[in-house]
Amino acid sequence: MIHQPPIDKLVDIVGNRYTLATLAAKRARQILESDQLKEDPSIKPISVAAEEIYEGKLSFTND
């Protein structure tokens, strides 16, 4: 479960819970496929994705 950043703030950023779940899952899959986990195996991809969303590092379109 994600504790930081709070889910409510992430939902405010992306618009709704479905978009948040989809965006975080897609980014977490990308992280799993990258070399980022080889550097630090304790990294949780979904937590990294949530932090990136919160910090504005991910962009998305809401069609």
pLDDT at position 61: 81
**Taking the complete model, does pTM exceed 0.85, yes or no?**
no
pLDDT at 1 over 60: no
pLDDT at position 43: 82
pLDDT, tens digit, for every residue of 9-60? 999 999 999 999 999 999 999 998 887 777 777 888 999 999 999 999 988 8
pLDDT at position 3: 63
Buried b (16+ CB within 10 A) or exposed e, 36-59: eeeeeeeeebbbbbbebbbeeeee
pLDDT at position 16: 93
